[in-house]
Amino acid sequence: MNHQYYIYIRSIILFGFAFLLCGLIYSGQIQYYIAPRMMKFIYFAAGTFFILGIVQLFRNEEEDGGDCHCGHDHSESKSPIRRFLIYTLFIIPLITGFTFPNKVLDSAIAQKKGVSLNGNIASQQPPASPLKETSESNTPEADAYLENPEKYMEQLEQEVSGTDEEPKLDDRATPMYDADKFYGKVASSYKDKSVVRITAENYIDVLNSMGMFLDQYIGKRIEIEGFVYRDDKLTQGQFVVARFAMSCCSADASVFGTLVKGNDLQKFTNDEWVNVQGTISKTTYNGALIPVITVHSVNKIKSPETPYVYPSDAFLNQ
C-alpha cells in the first residue's frame, strides 16, 4: 500500500481521538475516566488532535521525500502486516471507547484494590491500644487481612521473625503536608454538631478525619451514602458502605469505606447504592481502631450523577 494511504489513516485516527474526547466531554461521560481537575489537559488534547488531524489530512507524500520520516522510528514502515497491527492498536481504544458501556468501578474492582476502612491517613498510624471488648469481628485475622493486607502481612512477618526492626511505618505513602492540623480542623468543625452529614464534597476529608480523631466523633449521628461492599469475610450483620476516590484518572482510584452493622442488612446486595443513617462508635480491626456505624435506617437510593469523590479544594489548596 502506498504512503499517502497511511497519511490518511493517521489523519482519521487523530480525528477519531478528537471525536472520542469531544463525545465523552459533551455527554459528561468523561467523568468515568478523568477527574475534573485534569480536564484542562483533556481540552488541550482534544484541540491538538483536531489540529494535527487537519494538518495531516493535507499532507502530501511528496513532501515526505518518499517513505522517509527523518530521524524517526523507521521500523514501523517495515512490513504491511506490522503496519496493520500498529494501526489496529490505535483503532481498538477508539472502538471500545465509542461502544463499550460506561460502568462505575464497583465492588469487584474494590476487592482487587483493597478497601481502607479508617481513611487513608489513619491506617498509616501505629495501631492504638487494642480495645477488644468492642470487637465485632469473629474472624479477626481474615478481617485484618481484608482491611489492610500489607500491614497484616508485615505484622505476620514480625510475629514469625520475632525481633524485627521497628515497624516500617515511615516507608509507607505518608503525605508530607500537615495532616494532623488539617484533619484536626475538620474534626473540630463538628464539635458542636450532633449530626455528621457526609456529602460527595466532604467525603474524603471527613473519613480521613474520622479515622484520625475517632474519639471526637463517637456518639454522633451520621448520614452517609455509598455503594454496598461486602466480602465473604464479613459477618451477616455487616457491610461496608464505600465510594471510589479518584485523584487523576480511574486507574488511580482508591476505595474509602466505613463499616456498618445492624439487623436485616443481608437484603442489600453488593454495589447497591444506599443511604445509611446511624450512630458512630468504634471497633477494633487487628488492633487498629476503626469507626463503625450502628444502623438506624438504611435506604436504597439511586446511584448519584457523580459516583466518584475527589480530593477537596480545601485539601489541595492548603
- Residue number with CB closer to another protein (2 or 194): 2
What residues from 3 to 22 belong to the interface with another protein (CB under 8 A)?
5, 8-10, 12-17, 19-22
DSSP per-residue string spanning 199-226: -TTTHHHHHHHHHHSGGGTTT-EEEEEE
Nearest approach, Cβ of residue 308 and another protein (Å):
11
Nearest approach, Cβ of residue 252 and another protein (Å):
4
Other C-beta atoms within 10 Å of 119: how many? 26
249 touches another protein by CB under 8 A: yes
Residues constituting the chain: 318
What residues from 199 to 218 belong to the interface with another protein (CB under 8 A)?
none
Nearest approach, Cβ of residue 250 and another protein (Å):
4
193 touches another protein by CB under 8 A: no
CA distances from 257 to 6, 48, 167, 206 (A): 50, 39, 25, 12
Q: Are 233 and 296 in contact (CB under 8 A)?
A: no
- Residue number with CB closer to another protein (234 or 265): 234
290 touches another protein by CB under 8 A: no
In the chain, DSSP assigns E strands to: 115-116, 195-197, 221-229, 238-245, 254-261, 273-285, 288-300
Stretch that binds another protein, among 67-75, 195-203, 220-228, 287-295 (CB under 8 A): 67-75
Nearest of 7, 14, 29 to residue 94 by alpha carbon: 14
* Distance from C-alpha of 69 to C-alpha of 7, rounded to nearest angstrom: 12
* Distance from C-alpha of 6 to C-alpha of 4, rounded to nearest angstrom: 5
Stretch that binds another protein, among 29-37, 190-198, 220-228, 229-237 (CB under 8 A): 29-37
* Distance from C-alpha of 166 to C-alpha of 163, rounded to nearest angstrom: 9
- Residue number with CB closer to another protein (13 or 128): 13
Q: Report the helix count and the strand count for the chain, using DSSP H and E.
A: 9, 7
Nearest approach, Cβ of residue 237 and another protein (Å):
25
- If DSSP codes are grouped into helix, strand and coil, which group holds residue 296? strand
Among 36, 79, 84, 96, binds another protein (CB under 8 A): 96
- Residue number with CB closer to another protein (186 or 298): 186
Nearest approach, Cβ of residue 202 and another protein (Å):
17
What residues from 31 to 60 belong to the interface with another protein (CB under 8 A)?
32-34, 38, 41-42, 44-45, 48-49, 51-52, 55-56, 59
- Residue number with CB closer to another protein (212 or 253): 253
- Residue number with CB closer to another protein (172 or 185): 172
- Residue number with CB closer to another protein (61 or 223): 61
Nearest of 246, 265, 232, 253 to residue 37 by alpha carbon: 246
